[in-house]
Chains A and B, each alone.
Chain A
Amino acid sequence: MSGPREGFVSAFVVLALLLVLTVLTVVAAYAPIGVFHVPVALALAGLKSILVVLYYMHMRHGRSSDWVVIGTGLLLLAVLIGMILSDVVTRGWSG
C-alpha cells in the first residue's frame, strides 16, 4: 500500500460532521414532527453510518467486491425486517 488512504485532517472533519448530525438527531427527537420521528432518526443514523463506512472504513476507495458484500447484506437485512413487519402489521386485518 502506498501511503495513507485518508489524511488526519479528514478524520477530524468527519468527526465534526458526525457530532453535528448527533446534535441534529437529538433535536429532531424533541421536535414536533409527528409520524416522521422514525424516518428522520433512521435517515440521520444512515447518514452517519455512510460517513463512517466511506471515510473511516475506507470504502471511498473500496473495491466493488466489498460493495457487493455490503449490498447483499443490506438487501437481506431489508428482507428480514420488511417481511416480518409485513406479517405483524397485517395480522389484525380481518378478511
Chain B
Amino acid sequence: MSHGHKGVAPAHQFESVEQQQRVARFGMWMFLISETMIFGALFTGYAVYWTLYPEAFQEAAQFLDVTYGTVMTVVLLVSSTTVALAITALEGDRRRLAAGLFGVTIALGLVFFVLKIIEYAEKIGDGLLPTRGFEYPGAESADQAQVFFSWYFVITGTHAVHLIVGLAAIGFVIWPILRGTYHAKYFSPVEGTGLYWHLVDVIWIFVFPLLYLMGRAGGMG
C-alpha cells in the first residue's frame, strides 16, 4: 500500500474532487460557527454576571490556579501546531508522518484532559463545587461567588466535552490515513477534524485570560 491511492473519484453528487473538498471545508466552517455561538452564549452569561457582581467575581477568580491555566494553554497551543504540521505532511503525501503527528496531538490532548481532572479534583476538594456543600473562604458574598464557580465549571466543562469529541475524531482518522484512504489528493475528513481541533484551541485562547487571569492586579476599575 505504498503508493496505491484509492481512486480519487468524487462522491456521486459532485462534479469533481476539488468541488467536494471545497464544499466540505465550507460546511465545516458553518459548523464551527455554530459551535462558536454555543461558547458565545456561555461567555455572554459569564460577562453578564461580571457586570452584576464585579467585586465577588474579582475575588472568586483569584481562586483559580494561573499555573494550571498557563500550562494547559501551552499544551493546547502545541497540540494545534502538531495538527497544522500533520496537515502539511499529508498535503505532501507523507502519511506516516501525518499519522504520527496526530498521535502526538492525541497525547497532548490527553495531558490537557488529565490536568483538567486534577484541577477539578482540587477545586472540589477545596469545597468550591458550586452546589450543596459549597464552602467559600472569601470575604465577598458566597452566593455570588458560587455563580462564578458555576460558570467556571460550565465553560471549562463544555470545552472539555468538545476536546473529547476532537480527540475521538482524530482517533478515527489516523488509521485511514495510514491505510491510504486519505491522501494528498483527498483528505476532507482529516481537514475537517483538524479545523475542529483548532476551534477547541481558539476557544481556550479566550477561556484562559477571561477566567484564569481576571482581577490579578487588583482593581478591575
Contacts and interface: CB of A to CB of B under 8 A. Distances in A.
A/B touching: CB–CB < 8 A: yes
Interface of A: 1, 3-8, 11-12, 14-15, 18-19, 22, 25-26, 29-35, 37-38, 41-42, 44-45, 48-49, 52-53, 55-58, 63, 65-66, 69-70, 72-73, 76-77, 80-81, 84-85, 88-89
- Among A14, A35, A66, find the residue whose CB has the most chain B CB atoms closer than 10 A: A66
29 contacts: A1-B91, A4-B88, A5-B88, A6-B88, A8-B88, A11-B81, A12-B81, A15-B77, A18-B77, A22-B70, A22-B73, A22-B77, A25-B209, A26-B66, A30-B217, A34-B221, A41-B213, A42-B209, A45-B209, A49-B205, A56-B81, A56-B84, A63-B25, A69-B29, A70-B33, A73-B37, A77-B36, A77-B40, A81-B47
Contact of B91 (A5, A35, A48): A5
A88 B51 contact: yes
B81 A25 contact: no
B133 interface: no
The 4 A-B residue pairs whose C-beta atoms are closest, nearest first, are A73-B33, A35-B221, A29-B213, A41-B209
Interface stretch (B137-145, B172-180, B194-202): B194-202
A49 B202 contact: yes
Contacts of B88: 4-8, 11
A82 B92 CA distance: 44
Interface of B: 18, 21-22, 25-26, 29-30, 33, 36-37, 40-41, 43-44, 47-48, 51-52, 66, 70, 73-74, 77-78, 80-81, 83-85, 87-89, 91-92, 184-185, 194-195, 198, 201-202, 205-206, 208-210, 213-217, 219-221
